Amino acid sequence: MLQSILFAVITFGALSFAARQYLQIRKNILLGKEEDLSDQKALRWRNMLLFAFGQRKMFKRPIPAVLHFFIYAAFLITQVELIEIFVDGLTGSHRAFARPLGGFYTFVINFIELLSVLAFIATVVFLIRRNILHLSRFEKPEMEGWPKRDANLILFGEILLILGIFSMNGADVLLQGIDPHHYPETGHLLISDALGPVLLGGLSANALVWVEEFGWWLHLLVVLGFINYLPISKHLHIFLAFPNSYYARLTPQGKMENMPEVMKEVKSMMDPEAAFADAPEEEELPTFGANDVFSLSWKNILEAYTCTECGRCTDECPANQTGKKLSPRHIVMAVRDRAEEVGRKLRSGNKEYLREDLRESAPKLSKENFDDGRSLFDYIDREELHACTTCQACVEACPVLIRPMEIILEMRRYEILTEAAGPSDWLPLFNSIENSGSAWAMSQPRDAWAE
């Protein structure tokens, strides 16, 4: 009875705390502009099944893909055993599914154990790749500090989870022969039946009970800790890859959305009266592109939280390969960091972050009146934006359908059209296009060659 109460208190507390964190992430994502991505539902479900559930793009690099699949499959299938732990914890029973499911239960537990061994091998390989082999894409500047620790922490957490599973199962198979009334028959377990007697065979019944309960609690606490850890980890993609792939844009890669303000200018050239017939007399100057999370789409911010930090985008980027400062991974990580900063300041309610013209009236702080004097340009160097060749290599490489290039293009638009800034060597190009309609300043008409 005491264990059930303790289980309920710990579980409810951990899940409640986690829920608050996930709701805050949702609020941070919705800091972006509204965008309707609810069309073509059948195609969106297909994308989610292929790219999030099926991990289609991962298999462009087969060896890490297979290793990642071992961990992914183990994560999914062990949820069956986790459900049983929740049932046992609330009811005070032990292996509540064993007797009702019979032979199928034996199959499921054996499958979990096999996947756990494969996941352990994959985890060790990933630790070696990151900490001994030092693969270049894991050693970029943006991966220093917390991102590197984050990756290692989650891998060590995976090892703890596997330790919990085999401690619980290994002791259980021995206790089934000592107290079959309380420890129901699980059938022959390929791994625990072999390891249990070898590693735990010399222990007393009381010691075996302690090991079994240790494994049970370790499994539970690691899972609850993992759920609460995800909101500050790149491994949030375990959950967000599904909505991100569902809401992925279905337009061709590289297609840029027309800006309404520019379209109005073009229409005014064709028919000035029709273009400005409905325009207000005093209209604010338009802002082009994006300089902060508020002027990006909510989808861009969702992508930032979905990023796995795997570095495939940066690894494939030709600008990065030739020594340029650009790292598409850093661009996406910067958007997430800025969204976190804004969300944190909004929660504080500090009037210091109100727009200067509103501080005397002191309305409630919200995303509409927020201004802390910072922007995405404080996170992303302009040199990075200028280095992008818009080749789409980063978009093609991303396994969870993130488009870093959209963020780059929106920030370029802001810099060039709103700030009238940009690299000096681009200005002749813009002037030439404006004056002669050609990228090259030539006196002849563009179609003269055809004659």
Digit-coded pLDDT (tens) for 108-118: 999 999 999 99
CA–CA separation, 264 and 89 (whole Å):
63
pLDDT at 108: 92
Q: Which residues on neighbouring strands pair with residue 297, listed in sequence order?
A: 33
Residue of 63, 144, 139, 155 lying closest to 315 (CA atoms): 139
Phi-psi region for residue 324, left (φ > 0), alpha (ψ -120 to 50) or beta? beta
CATH topology of domain 287-445: Fumarate Reductase Iron-sulfur Protein; Chain B, domain 2 (1.10.1060)
Whole-prediction pTM value?
A: 0.88
In order of 58, 68, 242, the CA distances from 119 in angstroms are: 17, 8, 22
Cα Dmax for the chain: 98
In the chain, which residues have pLDDT < 70? Answer: 1, 269, 272-285, 442-446
Q: Are 208 and 367 spatial neighbours (Cβ–Cβ below 8 Å)? A: no
Q: 61: buried, middle or exposed (CB in 10 Å: 19+, 13-18, 0-12)? A: middle
b or e along 62-86 (b: 16 or more beta carbons within 10 Å of the residue's beta carbon)? Answer: eebbebbbbbbbbeebbeebeebbe
Contacts of 376 (CB under 8 A, 6+ apart): 290, 291, 292, 293, 334, 335, 338, 411
b or e along 190-207 (b: 16 or more beta carbons within 10 Å of the residue's beta carbon)? Answer: ebbbebbeeebeeeeeee
pLDDT at 28: 97
Q: Which residues on neighbouring strands pair with residue 370, listed in sequence order?
A: 354
pLDDT at 427: 80
CA–CA separation, 412 and 418 (whole Å):
10
pLDDT at 277: 60
Residue of 245, 247, 378 lying closest to 308 (CA atoms): 245
Contacts of 39 (CB under 8 A, 6+ apart): 250
pLDDT at 161: 93
In order of 53, 316, 332, 339, the CA distances from 313 in angstroms are: 20, 5, 10, 21
pLDDT at 285: 67
pLDDT at 4: 85
